[in-house]
């Protein structure tokens, strides 16, 4: 089945200090309630859910902020599991998940995935630095969760051929990016492919999410992703981020 990977970042009720990709906890609950009405149930294994129409959805959380513990509890109440991508070198920092928190996520059945060691974009690292980022983070997360770490989300969704080779060598099986789109059927057998996703912001309410969940592989969302990528190349990452944050206000 095709798979819609939803990407959440920080969850905060502080509207004044909220960044573009921050989502209020109450909005997350509304999103989960919508999925419940659409018949979401546990599927082939975490973090995938199957909707009543046969399509799949996966709930993923990036950056390892401490508020993700509350998100995990929301999923636990529904019998669902998510994927939490954590920068291993930042575990225990202020506002970040601690070692015990990471272990508890895994013990509850959630996927704990790699989000690099320092959260630096992979295209800014030398080949040696990149290899260390991936191997060190995979080793530390594996030690905390007592299991193999085979999910990876590159910081910022930035993916390079060098990163692909390093990830393949270390045994990562699933690479979730941030490029807009829906993963086609068979996504779980293509270890070299970077999986598209839908990155949510605080502006996306249940109605908009319902529309996004109807997206199909190679549909309008993929075409919009191409337009977005072209604009970012034209104006540069810094300008794009500035405009995006201005939109939040």
Q: Count Cβ atoms below 10 Å from residue 32 Cβ, excluding itself.
A: 19
* Alpha helices, H only, 53-160: 68-78, 99-107, 127-145
150-179 pLDDT, tens per residue?
999 999 999 999 999 999 999 999 999 998
Domain-wise residue ranges, the chain = 3-217
In which residue ranges of the chain is pLDDT below 50? 227, 240, 244, 247-249
Helix (H) or strand (E) holding 29: helix 25-37
Measured distance CA(63)–CA(153) in Å, rounded: 10
pTM, entire model: 0.89
| The residue to which tokens 């920068």 are assigned | 87
Question: Superfamily assignment of 3-217 in CATH?
Answer: Glycoside hydrolase/deacetylase (3.20.20.370)
SS3 240: helix
Measured distance CA(58)–CA(101) in Å, rounded: 21
CB 220 within 8 A of CB 226: no
pLDDT at 249: 44
47-72 pLDDT, tens per residue?
999 999 999 999 999 999 999 999 99
CB 60 within 8 A of CB 47: yes
pLDDT at 242: 56
pLDDT at 238: 60
SS3 57: strand
Q: Count Cβ atoms below 10 Å from residue 103 Cβ, excluding itself.
A: 17
SS3 186: coil
pLDDT at 235: 56
Distant-in-sequence, close-in-space partners of 115: CB < 8 Å, separation ≥ 6: 62, 63, 64, 85, 86, 87, 88, 137, 152, 153, 154, 155
Helix (H) or strand (E) holding 165: helix 161-170
């Amino acid at each position: 089945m095709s798979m819609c990977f939803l990407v959440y970042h920080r969850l905060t009720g502080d509207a004044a200090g909220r960044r573009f990709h921050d989502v209020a906890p109450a909005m997350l609950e509304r999103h989960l309630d919508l999925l419940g009405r659409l018949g979401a149930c546990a599927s082939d294994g975490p973090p995938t859910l199957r909707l009543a129409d046969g399509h799949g959805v996966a709930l993923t959380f990036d950056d390892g902020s401490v508020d993700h513990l509350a998100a995990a509890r929301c999923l636990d109440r529904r019998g669902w599991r998510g994927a939490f991508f954590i920068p291993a070198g930042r575990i225990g920092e202020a506002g970040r998940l601690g070692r015990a928190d990471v272990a508890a996520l895994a013990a509850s059945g959630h996927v704990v995935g790699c989000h690099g060691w320092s959260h630096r974009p992979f295209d800014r690292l030398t080949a040696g630095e990149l290899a260390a980022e991936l191997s060190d983070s995979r080793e530390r997360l594996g030690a905390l969760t007592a299991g193999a770490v085979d999910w990876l989300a590159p910081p910022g969704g930035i993916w390079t051929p060098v990163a692909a080779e390093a990830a393949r060598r270390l045994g990562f099986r699933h690479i979730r990016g941030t490029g807009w789109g829906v993963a086609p059927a068979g996504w779980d057998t293509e270890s070299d492919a970077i999986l598209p996703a839908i990155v949510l912001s605080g502006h996306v309410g249940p109605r908009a999410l319902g529309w996004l969940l109807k997206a199909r592989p190679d549909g309008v969302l993929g075409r919009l992703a191409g337009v977005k990528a072209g604009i970012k190349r034209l104006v540069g990452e810094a300008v794009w981020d500035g405009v995006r944050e201005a939109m939040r206000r």
